[in-house]
Amino acid sequence: MKPQYERMARYLWLSGRDTVRLSFDEIENIISGNLPANTRASDTSWSNNPGGFGMTPMWLAAGYKRSDLDLTGEQVTFKRVNQKVSDTCWRKVIRLALNVDLPTR
């Protein structure tokens, strides 16, 4: 997992909002890097499949799913969902949010 994508999980998790709408430029600012070129052309890059695009597991780990995608306007909307996420994913999010390493169980 690329560390910059973990920043996306941190952003969503710390937002505390039920719905988060971001432009692709805002996402690139959050992750401090460029999105892969295919994310601007294909909705498959934005699926909620945990095995998909490298950032997908991060927004899922933060408790969000992609709910709307506007490729022309280059915007994506995430909605908070009630789901159980893995302890490993939460550890990554918390570690980034608090800037600390948590002991493993």
Residue 4 pLDDT grade (very low, low, confident, very high; cuts 50, 70, 90): confident
Residues in the chain: 105
Write the secondary structure of 22-70 as one string of H (helix), E (strand) and C (coil). Answer: EEHHHHHHHHCCCCCHHHHCCHHHHCCCCCCCCCHHHHHHCCEEEEEEE
Give the separation between CA 13 and CA 15, rounded to whole angstroms: 6
Lookup: tokens for 75 = 């915007």
Query: 101: burial class by Cβ within 10 Å (0-12, 13-18, 19+)?
Result: exposed
- pTM of the shown model: 0.76
Residue 62 pLDDT grade (very low, low, confident, very high; cuts 50, 70, 90): confident
